Amino acid sequence: MWRLIRRQHEVEPRAAGEAAAEAAVTVAPVEPDLQAAAFFDVDNTMMRGASIYHFARGLATRGMFTTSDLFKFAVGQAVFRLRGNENPEHIAVARETALAFVAGAKVDDVVRLGEEIYDEVMADRIWGGTRALAQGHLDAGQRVWLVTATPVELARVIAQRLGLTGALGTVAETSNGIYTGRLVGDLLHGPAKAEAVRALARREGLDLTRCTAYSDSANDLPLLSLVGQAVAINPDSELREHARRHDWPIKDFRTGRRATLTALPIAAGVGAVAGGVAAAVALRRHYRTQR
């Protein structure tokens, strides 16, 4: 009797498994659309606030710099956003702070910290609506790229965590796995984003007239005007007005407020990278203590 019961327990699961396999429906894979792609800005388009600020906040929780440093950083971001001016002097300052952000740091350490901090701080700040738009492009067989002034290593972490194709970001020079303190080219901001997408399109064989770009900022008009379809996401006032004049779709995923200033600073273009000075202080202190 025991052997009979045991035999039934062995046979029934096997039979159920075989029946399920036979009844399985094979879903035809989506055929890749190799000439179309989507390009998403990060700060306040894919993510609430500035990715570099979230990174700095993550470093603060690790005791790498003080809450006072973080507060000064937040105030600087807010002032920059309210003034909204990005003259050559501001861009030069942003370049210097971007260099300070990475100088002397190990690439592997920046990537590791970026992964940890994304999981702890950034993941919950992804706009669900924007993420769904990106997934729609992926489901259609199109590649999806982030395009941001954020350092490319952090941008890649965000793209990987979201299951996207890749990221275009500000590139810092390295030597033997260490950042030299020099940039390769300049900050990926404004017209530079459009040039980066043009270069990627040439390399990947993309038809830009079949591509889509998403951003919250008028600073990205060169990129938005480059592709066949532009979409304004959580737009600032200038981009909203431009989008209306050109009949671009506008999607606002913010709730209970328009583009008002909040406790978490919303970065605008170069302002996001300029804020990296706080994280630079943290990393420099960290490496001094490790020596």
Could you read off the pLDDT of 105-116 as tens digits, one per residue?
A: 788 988 999 999
Asked which of 31-35, 42-46, 248-252 is least confident by mean pLDDT, the reply is 31-35
Tokens of 111: 């990537």
pTM for this prediction: 0.77
Residues whose CB is less than 8 angstroms from the CB of residue 268 and which lie 6 or more positions away in sequence, other chains included:
43, 80, 81, 84, 86, 217, 219, 236
Q: Are 235 and 207 in contact (CB under 8 A)?
A: no
* Among the listed residues 95, 272, 55, the one whose alpha carbon sits nearest the alpha carbon of residue 182: 95
Is 235 contained in some domain? Answer: yes
Catalytic, 236? Answer no
Mean pLDDT of the chain: 78
Angle at 149 between CA 143 and CA 152, to 5 degrees: 65
CB-count burial class (<10 Å; 0-12, 13-18, 19+) for 264 = middle
Residue 289 lies in a domain: no
* Tokens standing for residue 7: 């035999």
Q: Could you give the percent of the chain with pLDDT greater than 70?
A: 65
Domain presence at residue 192: yes
Range(s) of the domain holding residue 222: 37-251
Residue 34 backbone phi and psi in degrees, to 5 = -75, -10
pLDDT at 278: 42
Within a domain: residue 219? yes
Report how far residue 197's alpha carbon sits from residue 220's, in angstroms, rounded to the nearest whole number.
Answer: 12
Structure tokens given for 162: 């979201």
- Is residue 29, in this structure, part of any structural domain at all? no
Question: If pLDDT is split at 50, 70 and 90, which confidence band does 68 have?
Answer: low
Per-residue pLDDT at 100: 60
Tokens of 170: 């500000």
Name the phi and psi angles at 233, rounded to 5.
Answer: -115, 125
Residue 268 lies in a domain: no
List 43, 69, 220, 236, catalytic entry: 43
Residues 6 or more apart whose Cβ sits within 8 Å of residue 76: 274, 275
The whole-number average pLDDT for the span 234-263 is 80
Q: Quick check: 151 and 169 in contact, CB under 8 A?
A: yes
Of 41, 216, 220, 236, which one is the catalytic site residue? 41
Give me the pLDDT at residue 264, please: 37
| 222 Cβ contact partners less than 8 Å away, ≥ 6 residues apart | 190, 191, 193, 194
- The answer to whether position 21 is within a domain reads no
Most confident stretch, 108-117, 184-193, 227-236: 227-236
132 — pLDDT class (breaks 50, 70, 90): very high
Active site residue 108: no
Distances (CA, A) of 71 to 78, 109, 234, 261, 265: 11, 24, 25, 15, 11
Q: How confident is the model at residue 146 (pLDDT cuts 50, 70, 90)?
A: very high
Q: Which pLDDT belongs to residue 185?
A: 81
User: How many domains are there within the chain?
Assistant: 1
- Alpha helices for the chain (secondary structure H): 2-23, 51-61, 67-83, 88-102, 107-117, 128-139, 152-162, 191-204, 221-224, 237-245, 270-274, 277-290
Cα distances (angstroms) measured from residue 16 to each of 7, 20, 25, 38:
14, 6, 16, 43
The reply to whether 41 falls in a domain is: yes
